[in-house]
Chain A
Amino acid sequence: MPVAEIARVPKGASVDPGTDIAMDAGTFSGDIRKPAVIPVHRATHDWQPLAGASLLERLRVTGRPRLKADPELRRELREGLESGIRCQSPGKPTGGPDVDTASCLSAPVLVTKDRLTGVLACEAHYVAGEFGERPPTLAMACGALMDVLFRQLITVGGIDDPLVDGLAALQIDDRQDDLASWIERLSGADRIELRTELERQVQGLHRRWPRLEPAWLPRTQEAMRVGLAGGAVRLSARVDLAIGTPPEGEASVALVEIKAGARRVEHRADLHFYALVEALRSPAPPFVVATYYTRTGELDVDPVTEELLVAAARRTAAGARALWNLARGAEPRRSPSYLCGRCVLLPDCEPGRTRPARPGAGRARRPEGRATG
């Protein structure tokens, strides 16, 4: 697995868009420059988020060679996934080609980043939560609004009133109807809190997010689908931003996910899932996957390597296998995880109740933004 990197540049190194480094407007991935060198006299220990050209440079220059278009790698990833899905879950005979009998399920097993994370954390919690509607929260609203506001910024280059613009975009989306109504009904104090946070994050975006050349073909909410095991399993993803011309001989696309909340470890796995799906549907994988945190300006960047893709395939196969078994009516396994504290099954769950307490568990804490997208 590649070592995850977090963009941390000393104070003074962050620059306004277009003022420090002239970027190539030809292709997003072309004419790669060497990473910017931060003069020693400018470096301090105060961290500042990247901005403008430096942020762009961080996305474009990964320091790793870009993967070539490799049909053999694609075939191996696909076969590895399919054979991984075909292995039956522990406690049962292994190796049975049960996924081939797709007709026993009325619909393909849908594998998304959220389903993967959920089912791998605890199958029982996943099943219990699958049928319940999560009540909206301010963090959830902030995440959904920042998703559409980011899209607006990329597309038209500006945002007037974050709450008004964002709400207008949510209201036209059938899937966000309930959330939009909930936001409209917010009390004065909650509305002010949401508006203040949105304005703060949008100001940060305006200040730091670089202008993307149209020639780099930026596109938002790009859907990605891959069918496996004869269509019995479907990998599905929708990435907030894809930049770069589609690959011909070499990886040329960057995928960026936007998060309005706090950094979480599972966001890394989400990125790797995106890289895998893109690698399976395109001639070459993306050259980089990244998460941009609008709350703090943090940027997590992962160069895409074969090792990353193989590890993502293993995790995806394990999750898809679990989802497959659950769809066939298998008894969900209970696993202690970070979800236990808010699980409705906890009172009757032995593994959950006996899990070792983490330091700080149970301490009152201000809710942080939900990861959306």
Chain B
Amino acid sequence: MLDQAELSCAIRRHADTVRRVCALYSALTSDAEDVFQEVFLKFATHPGFESPDHEKHWLITVTMNTCKDLLKSARFKRSAPSDQLALYASESISDEVTTVLNAVRNLKTPLRETVYLHYYEGYTAVEIAQLLNSRPNTVYSWLARARKLLEEALHD
């Protein structure tokens, strides 16, 4: 188990990644806070990672699963009506960013995860297939559909 210093360092190192994955599912900071606690608690008690990439893959996967659990929870369904998803908590976010994030968030799962992993994290279709427990060709198909939907949503 990590000591406090190692845990602080790890949280700072991966906080932005976890926050971005959270943004795929919910715009609310309170939800992100719950996800942060769960993810980093599991991270702190994890026996160890083989490599930095493994660590990052593990964090992304656990964050996605935690967010999905949160979306399915009764508390989230009561407190987060769909119209609130269009709002983002941070005041520093511009309209352009909000528009793009909402467009990605409006994609169905697993299209939104595929878009994030490919366009932001730079994962290949093969890596995404491993992360999402699917096949590469299916990931290519998801990427094509997602790109088409995003072009329609973001077309001025």
A binds B: no
